[in-house]
Amino acid sequence: MCDAAMSGNGFALSDECGQIQDAIEITSDKGNICREIMSELTDWFSEPAVIEACAEAIESLPMFGCVDKNRVAGFVAMQSHPPDAMEILVIATRRAYHRSGVGKRLLAAAEDCARTAGCKILTVKTLAPRGTDEPQYDATRAFYDKNGFIRAEIFPTLWGEGHPCLFFVKPLEAIS
């Protein structure tokens, strides 16, 4: 039998069988966690100013993470857009945990956060296809597709020329 443990700082640790538990809320050191993980993911986050802006922004936002052996394997930070939407402002998983289920656990935490806040939709933005070989973004878009998000709109210049933004939406309740 495998037992889960909790650390003194409130992090849920991986259980005795090495399975990462569901995401838990992170309330401290959010900016540093964000900087550290995003800085590892240079295929997605290559601009230091973008990483710093994210790290500063999430300090006051709800953040959830999956923890393995006292190390945050991945995190998601949420931004509210009242009255009915919540956005995944940033989500990132250490490369060593890609395809391990951490991202799916982070999405579940994001959905729970949005539902608890009474939101009807969850949104996320990522880079839209731009006619170049970018398998990392192909994988990101496929991840959202596979997890019930709908490609809603492309904003060609939201992030600047040459960086088209793909806006995804996920209904959290039946639309009548």
3-15 burial, b if ≥16 CB within 10 A, otherwise e?
Answer: eeeeeeeebbbbe
Each residue's pLDDT tens digit, 105-132: 999 999 999 999 999 999 999 999 998 9
Whole-model pTM? Answer: 0.85
Q: What pLDDT shows up at residue 18?
A: 54
- 96 burial (CB, 10 Å; 0-12 / 13-18 / 19+) is exposed
Each residue's pLDDT tens digit, 77-115: 999 999 999 999 999 999 999 999 999 999 999 999 999
Q: Residues with Cβ < 8 Å from 158, sequence gap 6 or more?
A: 125, 164, 165
Could you tell me which residue, 46 or 153, shows the higher pLDDT?
153
* Token pair belonging to 106: 């982070």
